[in-house]
Structure 1
Amino acid sequence: MSAVRRWAVEGGRTDLVRPAAATSPVEVATRRGSVRFDAARTAFVVVDMQNDFCHPGGWLASIGVDVSAARSAIGPINRLSPLLRSAGVPVLWLDWGTRADRVNLPPNVIHVYDPEGVGAGIGAAHADSPAVLEEGSWGAALVDELDVRDDDIRVSKHRMSGFWDTPLDSTLRTLGIDTVLFAGVNLDQCVYATLFDAACLGYDCILVEQASATTSPDFCVDATVYNVDQCFGFCVAAADLELALTTEGHH
């Protein structure tokens, strides 16, 4: 993991000079040429791989959504996570984790999941779950199949974008991160919104295809990939990133 920045204190002197970190370049093919990034200054941000979105017994499945497309990201994420950890890249799980009283959710966020105004969506009860995406609930937990480690980083979010009303930005900056690899669900919604804001904040953004998925129609995937590639960063195939990480010096 990237070294967390700390001041050195010794003999009454506080040293604010940080030693230069060793670089760990990784070069990977993208949709438009290759990209070289520094694994020592990179984070892997995985969005919303939660029971309510990805489990057959979760919220989306309970309202008739086929979650098999969302689950397709599990395998690529699991193949990449240990390789990235070995390369010194922190794995950060960014998930919905709302307050039980929902007081920090604006009406537009509540409405998008409850367009009929009947008390459904975020915070509502469904099936065997007491509250959709409530922090600490089964629905907000990561699906069991994921390779999650105790020293991975967890950040709860309360919007489509993971940067609003969360410590995501301060966490990445404290870790000295320049480049963010994005994965998870839904590609065209929370993944894209978080990547969009990351790009606006000045981060170098790389969308990992196949490790990102959505239950939306295919044209949503096409439009999102086009926009990321055209305006906000780069798109890499999960298999190509896996290959780059397994070359000599990165495994």
Structure 2
Amino acid sequence: MNAPLPASRPDLAHPGPPEIRFGPSAHSAWTLGADGSVSFVRHAPPPRPLRLAATPQPVQIDLARTALVVVDMQNDFCHPEGWFAQKGLDIGAARRPIAVLQTLLPAWRAAGATVLWLNWGIRADRLNLSPTVQFKGKGRADGVGYGERSPLDRGPSLVQGEWGARRIDELEADPADITVHKHRLSGFWDSELDSVLRHQGVSTLLFAGINTDRCVFTTLQDAAFLGYDCVLLEDACATSSPTYVSDGVLYLVRLLHGFVASAADLMPALEAARVSALSSASSAS
């Protein structure tokens, strides 16, 4: 049995309060010490490099500073009763990334990397949607626009918190995933996406989802303008546009904005990184 603490050492008998962290992550936090001092020292995790085949050159990413951004895989675009389907649009392309992501997402999370869902989620009153956005969403007098209800009513289209803005059931989320709602093609326009990523210490973005030539490309392009490292996962994206449109996007990404890779190549790279981490942990113990 341990001897009681001496009465002359009340500091040991009643230790001071623990450090308290202020900030969204260890990447971006102050700590308040037991002595009342404030530390600005951040605690970034050690790098976890992963080499990935890509064009025009192979790249090495840091899993500790990389997020997989899954764009618009939500009911109003991908579900047979969603906004797009009820407009008469073919949702086959919108559903194409599902199978790829069902395999990729668990492996990505197992590697300890960040998943960010980027979904349309507008204000119900549409006060920040310009005439251009509202017209292109509706198109004609009898059309169903943003925030309006389709004939088979699943709630107002693309409104944050409603059915149409939610992730499709075929893709499971994890409590550690991050969700950001947007109200333009680009997820960076007038949203908190940039702030969320920077406070998580993220500097590299991998892109998946729909549509390759619209929300995926405009978000990637803005990310590159803001200084992020960008990789488009070609086989984890899709679009209903003609093939030549996607070809143009891939050309521009390779030429100007970043790199093009595939989930098919990323999967074995993640497994190799997982095996290497287990081996290193085993050797250390």
TM normalised by structure 2 equals 0.84
Paired residue for 1:8? 31
Cα distance in 1 for partners of 2:213, 2:237 equals 9
TM normalised by structure 1 equals 0.95
Paired residue for 2:256? 231
Q: Would you say 1:151 and 2:173 are equivalent positions? A: no
CA displacement 1:22-52 (0-9 Å, x = unmatched) = 0000101012231001111101111100111
Structure 2: segments with no counterpart, 5+ residues:
1-24, 279-285
Q: Would you say 1:249 and 2:276 are equivalent positions? A: yes
Q: Would you say 1:113 and 2:137 are equivalent positions? A: yes
Q: Would you say 1:68 and 2:92 are equivalent positions? A: yes
Paired residue for 1:171? 196
Q: Would you say 1:91 and 2:108 are equivalent positions? A: no
- Contact 1:87 1:250 (C-alpha < 8 Å) held by counterparts: no
Please state whether the residue corresponding to 2:230 is helix, strand or coil: strand
- Per-residue deviation at 1:20? 4.5
Please state whether the residue corresponding to 1:85 is helix, strand or coil: helix
Paired residue for 1:40? 64
Aligned residues: 250
Cα distance in 2 for partners of 1:250, 1:233 equals 28
Structure with the bigger RCO (C-alpha within 8 Å, sep 6+) is 1
RMSD: 1.5
- Per-residue deviation at 1:121? 2.0
Larger Rg: 2
- Per-residue deviation at 1:80? 1.5
- Contact 1:73 1:213 (C-alpha < 8 Å) held by counterparts: yes
Paired residue for 1:198? 223
- Per-residue deviation at 1:3? 4.1
Higher helix share: 2
Cα distance in 1 for partners of 2:153, 2:36 equals 58
- The runs of at least 4 consecutive aligned structure 1 residues that moved more than 3 Å come to none
Identity between Structure 1 and Structure 2 (%):
48
CA displacement 1:138-191 (0-9 Å, x = unmatched) = 111111000211221111101000011211000000001110011111111001
- Per-residue deviation at 1:250? 6.0
